[in-house]
Structure 1
Amino acid sequence: MLSIDSVLAEDMETGASARLRIETLSTIVSAEDASGARGIPIHHYSKEEWSVAQKRFEALRPVIEHPIRSRSEVEKLATAAGVHVATYYKWLAAYHDAGHVAALVPRKRGAAKGQKHLAADQELVISSVVEDMYLKKQRHSPKEVVDEVLLRCKRAKITAPAPSTIRRRLKELSPAMTLRRRGFKDKARDVYEPIRGSFPGADFPLAVVQIDHTPLDVIVLDEVHRKPIGRPWLTLAIDVYSRMIVGLYVTLDKPSATSVAMCISHAMTPKSEYLGALGVEGNWPVWGQIGTLHADNAREFKCKAVTRGCQANQIDMQWRPVKKPHYGAHIERYMGVVATELKKVPGTTFSNIQQRKGYDSEKEAVCTMKEVEAYLVEFIVNNYHQRSHSQLQDASPARVWQQGIVGTSERPGIGAMPIVGDPERIRMDFLPYFEITIQRSGVRLENVFYYDPVLDPYIGATMPDDPNAKRKFIFARDPRDVSQIYFLDPQADRYTPIPYRDLSHPPVSASELREVTKALRAENKGEVDEHRIFSSIQRNRDRINASTESTKAARRQAASRPKAKQAPAQVPGRVPAAAQSPASERAAEPALSIFDQELEVFEVGELN
């Protein structure tokens, strides 16, 4: 490593050296090792051990790729591998449990470190004496515990363990728990509990990240009319070790699982393109795997989508302990820093009504949401990250982050953070998801049909272990735009976008879809179909467009509306969007210039 964001690299063919930015690098792995990013230390194994694991994996590959096989077929595979079928099944179970080739490394014979050799009745006697005598406020000595164990074993007519073994069991007890149980609660707290202002486990960059939401104290303008639309929300994540801001997300919508998804994916990925899109100069060298995500007990942090996303990305999700507010002090303190900084922006709402007295925030507002976001990022990257912090011993967050990565003369660093290979996958893992069966008509979600040929192999699929039960598949959805959902293909293990079956429908948000559906059901007291839903949405949008310039609520709703995407390439067998829309609507559309019209693609055979 030459610096926090660059390395000295050597060309393996020519031997030439060059300085490269870390975020431009990627790791090349073989297909069977693609799951190796789970942190299993494969470098601890010898070449011979790893070679055996690879051979076992190749023997298991036919069953892993095609799990539905009869026992006779598995017996043939076991014979080909030169082992008994029971051993073959043990290999398979070990691989599935760990999800990694390292599970197939042959284990060394003999007792593992920490393995206990006493009989169950001997262990029971020791644990009962420890509970009855040692972990009491009477504070019996280790010698008294040894004597009592020997006496009870004699009475029970079992072989007594050695006194050294009994003393070793006492040393294995948790020191903090032992002090508390023996009446030293204050000493246990002073020695083993974190002091106010510190955070357990935050010993290196991204070990612990705190996340929270707050409404920004500034009124923003819409992009079209540049008129007030209200206060946006900020979702922000901070590294407890260095106080570096690792990710953020600004939106007009209230906090939700989507806000968490966007913020976490931003935190774990490089930010050079993000800074360029905002026009912010500077360096924000923060990316990598989050260890523990710490949040308060808000509903959006405890929903299924966030829980599933953390599990899929090996993030330990923890919530703030009850009656310990200082555990959230880092993120809340920075929210206060943001509030103070935004008081400098025209259109600020200040912190309370008294401070705002005599100031018309909406009249003074001059910035759109993107401009406020750029201002905030400029402050984070080139101001907050660079100035000294009293709780970092007057070092800056950027300096502490760099020392945590590169190291110092007193303490080694953790090294360059691996760059996430698929940032979009992280976002998808945290989005709200649904488990749905796939029918010949595609997928139906909240009265809207979706279809793509990639679903065809799974139409009418049943459960592998129960042919009578329909198989459900996972579909993620971004609530901001439901014009497509994302199918987690079990074979490819990746998300594939699935658009509307009827491509003429406009992009809508989940809240807009639900509001219209609810209104139609109340009006008609029955089921509603897709055509009526989108017809009603279009009528409502026409009303909003007519009042947008004069009504703040309408402008805010228009600003939150998903933007129309470019029409996707025509899929064989799908009716073109133009053919699905009514002729009257097509006739009403303005004629396009020849230079604006899309080119029509012909097959070679059609030209002859």
Structure 2
Amino acid sequence: MEADPDRIVADGQLTMTDASWEQAKSRAAVIGALAKRRVTGIAAADEAAMKLGVSRRHVYLLLGRYRQGSGLVTDLALHRSTGGKGGNRLPEQVEEIVRGLIRRRFLTRQKLSVAALHREIIRACGLQGVKPPTRNTVSRRISMLNPVEVGRRREGPDAVRPLQSAGGDVSMIRSILEQVQIDHTVIDVVIVDERERQPIGRPYLTVAIDVFSRALVGLVLTLEPPSAVSVGLCLAHAVADKRPWLEHLGVEAEWPMSGKPKSLFLDNAAEFKSEALRRGCEQHGIHLSYRPLGQPHYGGIVERVIGTAMRKIHELPGTTFSSPEERGRYDSERMAALTLPELEKWLALAVASYHGSKHSTLGQTPAAVWAAGITATGMPAVTANQTAFLVDFLPVIRRTLTRTGFVIDHVHYFANALKPWISRRDSLGQFIIRRDPRDISRIWVLEPDGHHYVEVPYRSISNPSVSLWEHRQALTRLRERGAAQVDEATLFRMIDQMRQVSDTAVKTTRRLRRETERRKQAKDPHHPGTQSSQIPPTLAVPADGESGKETAVQPFEQIEEW
């Protein structure tokens, strides 16, 4: 039999260079996929050999070593020196104790903790008269285990389905922001308006979670149903420094998890397949992948976090619980007490608490895993201008330029920046325009060269900021009254009349109170992704690679009990 030239004899990651560690991870990805097959044929072995740059026989040697080991990345590391005198490897006797107890005691349904495992290793080493490893060494060994194999052995096969790809193979996530999952939910609590503190219904939550660290990187609370804008707002929150937002909320907490994701994993809802999201991700080099149809268990990591959050929210006043049966005779609207900003503050505190709580699957806190990821890969790219980032994810409209600017749904837009294009408008064709449905008082027009967006406001500066929802309601009212033609002046007069009715009826009508809060939220410059009045007139298209009543917060515990 051919000798195994790469047999590992050193103490794993502790004595490996960065290059060796990266090569071992690459090997684990290829060999781990082969190991799941009952039989590895010559064709599959040759394909793996091509990927790894080794011989077919060497592939079989690596495969045997991987199956005999504990699923460690270091099982496939390059041959290293034993270290000699003063080397920092574990003695072979201690190595066998650690590996054996990990396999027999940690990778079982008993779900022994790392601390308990370390105590057993100390006892076993004491019986054999050898020096035990430190707990940090044991923890590092655990962190190098295949997460799917750990979950399968400790929790069962159903628990690891969310970690698997569409083809059933392991989706190996090796670094922070390598994959981010996003999902929405309606929150199980009724909130109140800020003026009268009367109930206005349930808000919507959109969250983004980093799969590698299980840290939440983005969160948006809105009164709007889930849409492409919700996704854009959540992404804008994820890529920005969260300190200004936390200061605005009055929250003294750490939330350092920010950065542009390398890929998004989403379900098949319409808002996740919009042109706005697709073009935005292409612009920023973010890969999009979707949950396989008919296989709802894929992508369950973010859903588990949302489910845990809802259980904590059931402790808040005004909760609707998960079902009428669970709610019983509890009057959610009468007990409602929190405004939207107060609920947002509660969520921010709860997320900070969750990041500092030990994760049952990771064996450490999400904050610690995130910090380790920063050490390994460096600080991720963070945007300094959320609005510029958000524009790339707003709904797309195409219009031709006229001598007076653009006309969109009976509303005229103009800026001096358009003048150089007007004279040659016939040769330019249709422009790509982005519009925020929450506030249509301005649009962003992509320059003909495709490098910058130009902000273009209403042509008539006397018109108020309105949402697309108000705009459409006004059009509906005008048509109901038999208006044969609609012009801009008529449209905004109808919007003004609707707002006057809203202001007089807001004390008694929950729907109108809710609409008032929606308008207020859209104008809040501190809300994640919301437009500020201090937006620069020209937005560069990023190049690739770039107070009220407080409620006690309890930490999110036992997220994803796998």
TM-score (norm 1): 0.59
Distance apart, 1:420 and its partner CA: 2.4
Aligned partner of 1:423 among 375, 378, 386 = 386
Tell me what 1:311 maps to.
Answer: 282
Aligned partner of 2:437 among 469, 479, 482 = 479
Distance apart, 1:218 and its partner CA: 0.8
Tell me what 2:338 maps to.
Answer: 367
Give the distance between the partners of 1:461 and 1:484, measured in 2 at CA: 23
Q: Deviations over 1:226-283 (max 9, x none)?
A: 1110000000000000000000110011001110111001101111111111111111
Q: How do 1:279-294 and structure 2 match up within 5 A? A: 279-294=250-265
Distance apart, 1:448 and its partner CA: 0.3
1:344 alignment partner AA: E
Tell me what 1:391 maps to.
Answer: 361
Give the distance between the partners of 1:530 and 1:431, measured in 2 at CA: 23
* 1:488 to 2:446 alignment: yes
Tell me what 1:435 maps to.
Answer: 398
Do 1:386 and 1:397's aligned partners in 2 also have CA atoms closer than 8 Å?
yes
Segment drifting more, 414-423 vs 234-243: 414-423
Do 1:233 and 1:252's aligned partners in 2 also have CA atoms closer than 8 Å?
yes
Tell me what 1:520 maps to.
Answer: 478
1:198 alignment partner AA: L
Do 1:438 and 1:472's aligned partners in 2 also have CA atoms closer than 8 Å?
yes
* 1:345 to 2:316 alignment: yes
Overall identity of the aligned pairs, in %: 37
Tell me what 1:209 maps to.
Answer: 180
* 1:267 to 2:256 alignment: no
* 1:530 to 2:495 alignment: no
Do 2:200 and 2:514's aligned partners in 1 also have CA atoms closer than 8 Å?
yes
Tell me what 2:23 maps to.
Answer: none
Give the distance between the partners of 1:215 and 1:560, measured in 2 at CA: 16
SS at match of 2:503: helix
Q: Which has the larger radius of gyration?
A: 1
SS at match of 1:330: helix
Give the distance between the partners of 1:492 and 1:457, measured in 2 at CA: 15
Query: CA 1:308–1:568 in 2, change beyond 3 Å: closer, same or farther?
Result: closer
Query: CA 1:269–1:169 in 2, change beyond 3 Å: closer, same or farther?
Result: closer
Q: How do 1:159-558 and structure 2 match up within 5 A? A: 171-172=49-50, 196=160, 197-199=162-164, 200-381=171-352, 383-392=353-362, 394-406=363-375, 413-462=376-425, 469-490=427-448, 493-524=451-482, 526-558=484-516
Give the distance between the partners of 1:288 and 1:297, measured in 2 at CA: 24
Tell me what 2:528 maps to.
Answer: none
1:223 alignment partner AA: E
Query: CA 1:568–1:255 in 2, change beyond 3 Å: closer, same or farther?
Result: closer
Give the distance between the partners of 1:328 and 1:141, measured in 2 at CA: 33
Do 1:236 and 1:247's aligned partners in 2 also have CA atoms closer than 8 Å?
yes
SS at match of 1:336: helix
Structure 1 residue ranges without an equivalent (≥5): 1-137, 143-166, 179-190, 407-412, 463-467, 570-608
Do 2:239 and 2:381's aligned partners in 1 also have CA atoms closer than 8 Å?
no
Query: CA 1:356–1:269 in 2, change beyond 3 Å: closer, same or farther?
Result: same
2:370 alignment partner AA: W
SS at match of 2:180: strand
Do 2:163 and 2:299's aligned partners in 1 also have CA atoms closer than 8 Å?
no
Query: CA 1:168–1:518 in 2, change beyond 3 Å: closer, same or farther?
Result: same
Query: CA 1:530–1:342 in 2, change beyond 3 Å: closer, same or farther?
Result: same
Distance apart, 1:474 and its partner CA: 1.9
Give the distance between the partners of 1:441 and 1:352, measured in 2 at CA: 54
Distance apart, 1:168 and its partner CA: 6.7
Do 2:428 and 2:448's aligned partners in 1 also have CA atoms closer than 8 Å?
no
Segment drifting more, 254-263 vs 541-550: 541-550
Do 1:452 and 1:498's aligned partners in 2 also have CA atoms closer than 8 Å?
yes
Q: Deviations over 1:195-249 (max 9, x none)?
A: 6252514211000000000011111111111111000000000000000000011
TM-score (norm 2): 0.63
Distance apart, 1:341 and its partner CA: 1.1
Give the distance between the partners of 2:284 and 2:275, measured in 1 at CA: 14
1:535 alignment partner AA: R
SS at match of 2:184: strand
Give the distance between the partners of 2:442 and 2:482, measured in 1 at CA: 27
Do 1:287 and 1:419's aligned partners in 2 also have CA atoms closer than 8 Å?
yes
Give the distance between the partners of 1:486 and 1:508, measured in 2 at CA: 16
Give the distance between the partners of 2:410 and 2:339, measured in 1 at CA: 35
Give the distance between the partners of 2:217 and 2:325, measured in 1 at CA: 34
Give the distance between the partners of 2:369 and 2:238, measured in 1 at CA: 17
Give the distance between the partners of 2:349 and 2:474, measured in 1 at CA: 40
Q: Deviations over 1:497-549 (max 9, x none)?
A: 21111111111111211222233235436331111111111111111111110
1:214 alignment partner AA: T
SS at match of 2:207: strand
Query: CA 1:365–1:473 in 2, change beyond 3 Å: closer, same or farther?
Result: same
Give the distance between the partners of 1:219 and 1:421, measured in 2 at CA: 34
1:264 alignment partner AA: L
Distance apart, 1:173 and its partner CA: 8.7
Give the distance between the partners of 1:386 and 1:417, measured in 2 at CA: 20
1:452 alignment partner AA: A
